[in-house]
Each structure stands twice: as C-alpha cells, then as structure tokens.
Homo-oligomer: A and B are copies of this chain.
C-alpha cells in the first residue's frame, strides 16, 4: 500500500481554517459556540464529549455541555432543545444519540433549528443534502469522508464509488455527497448480491456497515482507495473498523485506518460547521 489516510492532518487543516474564520467572528463580537447535549453517562458519549472539548479551542469554538439524567422526560429534553434554538449565543447543537428508549428520538431531532443542526440530524438538513442545495449541514461523518479524500487528492469526478451500507447517518447522505462531486455511485447493502465483485470494480470504496473486519482482501483490487467508516470493537474490546486492515493493506492503494481515520476528522467537521453556522446567523 502506498498511503495510509490518517485523519489527524486532515482534522488539523480543517481546524486551522475554521480557527481563522472564528477569529474574524470574535473580532466582530461573535464567539462561535456549540452546545453538546448528552443524556445519561454512556461511555461512548462521554469519550466523544471529551474529544470535542479537547479539539474545540483549536477550531476557535466554545463548547457548553448540557448533561441530562438517563431518565429525562421527553418534555424536559424538548425544552432544552428549544432553549438552544432561542439562545443567540449558541450557534450549533450536537445531540448525542441514540437516546434512551423513553424518548421519541425523531421528534426531538425535528425540534432543532436546522440552522443550528451541525451534525445533519434534521429532515431539513437531509433534504438539503439530497437536493444538493448546500444550505443545510451534512452529517459530519459523511463530510469527513469527502474532506479526507480531498486532502489526499483522491479524484472523484467521473470515478466509480461504491458505498456499502445505506443508513441515514452515513450511507445515504454520503452517496449524495459523492454524487454531487460527480462520482458514479453504487449503493450496496445487505441484499446486494456478489458484493465482492462490485466493490472490486470501484475506484473508491466506502465501508459503513458496522461489522468488525467484515471486509478482507477478497473485496478489493489494486489501485483502490478505501474509506473505513466502521467504529466497532473486536472480541478483545479493541476498537476496529469494518475493514480487515492487515489483509487489505497489501492490496489497495490507500486505506483510512481505524482508529485514527475518518472518526478523527468528524469532530473537526462538526466544529467547522459551528463556525459556518455562526457566520450565517451573524449575517
């Protein structure tokens, strides 16, 4: 393999550019601020929250954490979201999901002002991604994929991209972003036959199925760029992706690692979105 597509330099470049724009906003009296809403103490959510807090300053973003009890009611959570909508000093909101069973998650998501929806969870944001209108934010993970490909100069225009996994959080919106960049996009999933033949024929393959080591070298061919969007844990509790890296690395031209790949770009994209939201709201 020629290239490991590490996320760190991508994230640093995004944060540095966001910081410059945040500084301009600060000169005008606007401090870009993100509200992180967390329900309960899920270790994954806590880790994500720490990551955001750690990287926010580099992007010039202030973070306010809102921590709610695991048994919070729909009404209380709804009030929290509405307060964020109405607070002119907050420009973005990141709602940790999944939410506990007593909460109607879709209903809560829809309450969020799409202008503050920096992780693309509202229908308005998804409609924007689908239409390619550019006014709403794409889910951060999907944009992290595009930013990573751009950073490493992987061409997309006229190239064949295969996305495996069709979730509303990754697969579907990422397919739309790749299409907007003029890639020929194939959307694959659990019903897809001869998946390995399809993935081997692509220039860029994105694995987003959430199954540890589901993709070994049989799925890939020489010259390909592979993005691993899976964040899983193997039988030893060690974080791993959807791609069996040891098997695949010798075959392909470039692969994003897990950890240290797309996931580490996602936070930078979210923070960048906060700065963009602050710019738009300040207009």
User: Which residue numbers of A lie inside 8 Å of B, CB to CB?
Assistant: 123-124, 126-132, 157-160, 166, 168, 172, 175-176, 179, 182-189, 191-193, 198
**Contact (A188, B193) CB under 8 Å given A123-B127, A131-B123, A179-B166:** no
In the assembled complex, the Cα of A58 lies from the Cα of B183 at a distance in Å of 44
Set of chain B residues within 8 Å of A130, measured between Cβ atoms: 126-127, 129-130, 168, 172, 176
Task: Give this chain's copy count.
Answer: 2
With contacts A130-B130, A130-B172 taken as known, whether A187 is within 8 angstroms of B185 at the C-beta atoms is yes
Whether the pair A191, B182 counts as a contact (CB closer than 8 A) is yes
| B192–A188 CB distance below 8 A | no
Given A123-B131, A158-B193, do A184 and B188 touch, yes or no (CB 8 Å)? yes
Question: Considering the chains assembled together, what is the distance between the CA atoms of A198 and B188 in angstroms?
Answer: 15
Are A189 and B184 within 8 A (Cβ)? yes
A171: nearest chain-B partner, CB-CB: B179
Residue ID in chain B nearest A197 by CB atoms: B201
